[in-house]
Chain A
Amino acid sequence: TQLLEQSPQFLSIQEGENLTVYCNSSSVFSSLQWYRQEPGEGPVLLVTVVTGGEVKKLKRLTFQFGDARKDSSLHITAAQPGDTGLYLCAAPTDSWGKLQFGAGTQVVVTP
């Protein structure tokens, strides 16, 4: 069973547009992470959010953790072709830190 539901599965936009990716669950998490993965490479950690209601910004990327710590969103402003990739949310499922990943959102930004 997928604890983390990501939407949409696929997003294709033009350079300069904005986009939002969602990660939802019925479970409460102590923290949640967002990764970006490019073809043939391992995922790269973008951010970890730990506090309900927390908002973190990384240049043009804004990450939000829901007040109840059950959901999160990633918003990209003025997307660029370099933002193309598979965006994955992940959360620890036990005290040992085993990560459960969402199914991922494939983002394609065309020039």
Chain B
Amino acid sequence: GAVVSQHPSRVICKSGTSVKIECRSLDFQATTMFWYRQFPKQSLMLMATSNEGSKATYEQGVEKDKFLINHASLTLSTLTVTSAHPEDSSFYICSARAGPRGFQETQYFGPGTRLLVL
């Protein structure tokens, strides 16, 4: 089956620094990648949709200047949390979809990145 990786798997940083999280599709080309955030004991909340070569579309309430998304190639999307603060501490998960057929295409999820901001 399709494999999606994330790097790093966990990161601890000081308040005010920026953190970059990578999401890679290892054995397929992903036209669309999605970024989710999951707080403890809660479900996944979609943050943004990223299409290769175009600007990301952010969900309501998600600051696009704080969460920078770059989908520069068909196998890589990055999420940069700028000037991170303790309230940004969360589990960040990406998913990737191969085709353009929207809901008919399966999303494959990465293993997640645990971010802890001190």
Contacts and interface: CB of A to CB of B under 8 A. Distances in A.
B57 to A, nearest CB: 9
B25 to A, nearest CB: 13
A40 interface: yes
Contact of B49 (A35, A41, A45, A98): A98
Contacts of A88: 43-44
How many residues of A sit at the interface, in one of the four size bands? 20 to 34
Interface in B71-118: 91, 93, 95, 97, 101-112, 114
A40 B10 CA distance: 10
Given A92-B102, A92-B103, A104-B43, A40 B112 contact: yes
Contacts of A48: 106
Interface residues of B, number: 28
B54 interface: no
B6 to A, nearest CB: 8
B44 to A, nearest CB: 5
A3 to B, nearest CB: 12
A11 interface: no
Interface string A87-104: 010001011111111111
Given A95-B102, A96-B49, 7 more contacts: A40-B91, A43-B44, A45-B109, A96-B103, A97-B107, A99-B46, A100-B46
Interface of A: 30-31, 35, 40-45, 48, 88, 92, 94-104, 106
Interface of B: 4, 6, 32, 34, 41-46, 49, 91, 93, 95, 97, 101-112, 114
